[in-house]
Amino acid sequence: MSTEPVVELQGVHKSYGEVQALRGVDLTIGSGEVVAMLGPNGAGKTTSIAVMLGLRRVTRGQARLFGLPPDDRRARSRVGVMLQESGVPGVLTVRELIDQFRAYYPCPLPAERVIALAGLAEIAAARVSTLSGGQRQRLYFALAVSGDPDLLVLDEPTVGMDVEARQRFRQAIRELAASERTIVLTTHYLEEADALARRIVVVDHGIVIADAAPEAIKARLPSKRMRFRTATTLDGDVFAGLPVTALEQLDGQVRLLSAEPETVLRELFRRGLTLTDLEVAGADLEEAFLALTSRRGERT
């Protein structure tokens, strides 16, 4: 794998009037990395993407793409982008639009390969105007990969996709990653980030607050995740005095976090609860993400 930096953000600040969207972002993404950028709404993820692509100019700092200014055509020709807001001609068919986009690049992927990656074979002859929201997302993904890019940037790519299409998308990303393309994605589906990314970058209040492998991010939360079912109707008193940091109950299933799961279980058994389908595991990415961003919010 090449060590050439693909994306470099150095001390990047970006302001919109009085609003500071980015407040000193430092980020380097190397060739072949699969990176998920996470953060609450308004945290600076989309602005970071726009800056690295040259769609927004920095207020202060420096952004480089393949060692060049992000708006340099030589850099842009190596990038495929799928943004949340896209507009394409509705009168063309799916295949016609893919062929049109392929023509913009010097060495595009074969059309059939693009169609297969995006799962569009059954609707290749359909006009774009007739596509559902999920089908349009798959089309936008196809357009992003059509030029055989070295860097693929995907902003909330699976919004509107059904379960089957989302699984197909994940498989396509794994295939592309295996060929050492650099992939940067943002998503609100944290299980998707956990499944695909080798590196998680968490942005909050315009700065990077975490940058590590998914396992390392999850390890920052010492609590264990506990799930079980019980036929007993539970009230808050059942958990009174127990080392529980989060608690959810729905349709007989209980989900909680605790740094002392053995203590909690021992006491619940002592209090007469019968538990079934018991599961104790490390915190998942969603729980670690919420802990990271909530602590950040408390400090600011």
**What digits encode the pLDDT tens for the residues 18-42?**
999 999 999 999 999 999 999 998 8
- 139 and 262 together in one domain: no
Residue 293 lies in a domain: no
Q: What is the CATH number of the domain that holds 19?
A: 3.40.50.300
Length reported for the chain: 300
Average pLDDT, the chain: 90
Contact 177, 115 (CB under 8 A): no
Q: Which amino acid is at 42?
A: G
Q: Which amino acid is at 286?
A: E
Whether residue 298 is predicted with pLDDT greater than 60 in this model: the reply is: no
Would the pTM of this model clear 0.75, i.e. be above it? yes
pLDDT given at position 1: 46
Whether residue 299 is predicted with pLDDT greater than 50 in this model: the reply is: no
Domain span at residue 122 reads: 5-218
In 3D, which of 201, 200, 184 has the Cα closest to residue 44?
A: 201
- 195 and 233 together in one domain: no
Q: Which amino acid is at 46?
A: T
Residue 291 lies in a domain: no
- 109 and 170 together in one domain: yes
Residue 208 lies in a domain: yes
Domain count, the chain: 2
Q: What is the mean pLDDT of residues 98-126?
A: 95
Whether residue 73 is predicted with pLDDT greater than 70 in this model: the reply is: yes
pLDDT given at position 296: 53
- 170 and 23 together in one domain: yes
